[in-house]
Amino acid sequence: MSSSTAEAARRLPVVILLSGSGSNFAAIAAAAGHGALPIELRAAVSDRPAAYGLVRARALGIPAQAVPVTGHADRAAHNVALAACIDAYRPELVVCAGYMRIFSAAFVEHYADRMLNIHPSLLPEYRGLNTHQRALEAGARWHGCSVHFVTEELDGGPLVAQAPVPVLPGDTVETLSARVHRAEHRLYPTVIGWYATGRLRSTAGVVTLDGEPLSTPVRLENLHAEA
């Protein structure tokens, strides 16, 4: 096998962090299972032992572990244990998919330039929680989701890509959330695929796509549409 063929056949080792139902995990796993995403899902890790995302992982034969916050003195101590769990699987990319805890500075530094997060808004709008409710209350015409590299700044790392989603008349938190989720489930595997194939890189916080500095996030349209 030639080196170029070997590189094309290589699957990037990935660990996914989640706290809830794991719908983004399921979308990523499906893309990998269909051969559309050249990654090896080595583990799903959660802060919540009862997270349904862990059930999804085990059903697919993917190792699933919980590192609960209880039993640790503080965030830093918990993050040390979390990093030890992750590193046992030797990932080259850590993917936050609905992981609902803030990381310590040391944890972020340990995974600098190789940890992605997806956030349900068009960042920098609506950082933090309750983004759908806040968009509706603000009368926004557009909402969406963003993928970014993780830094110490909450939802403030370098942006990679965004998927705009229209806010429709009569939308509720539930209907808008469902539309944003459809976009997330397409956007995230796409961006992970860019990283897995070497197209996307971050070096000391400078993001490049296809070798060119990424000054503004890539906008991918109509990802919210029904499949």
Q: Report, as residue numbers or ranges, the catalytic residues.
A: 119
Extract the tokens encoding 33: 């299972």
Query: CA 47 → CA 69, 84, 102, 118, 160, distances in Å?
Result: 6, 14, 11, 17, 26
Extract the tokens encoding 47: 């802060």
**Angle 60-62-66 (CA atoms, 0-180°, nearest 5)?**
120
| Site of tokens 């790392």 | 157
Q: Is 53 helix (H, G, I), strand (E, B) or coil?
A: helix
Q: Is 96 helix (H, G, I), strand (E, B) or coil?
A: strand
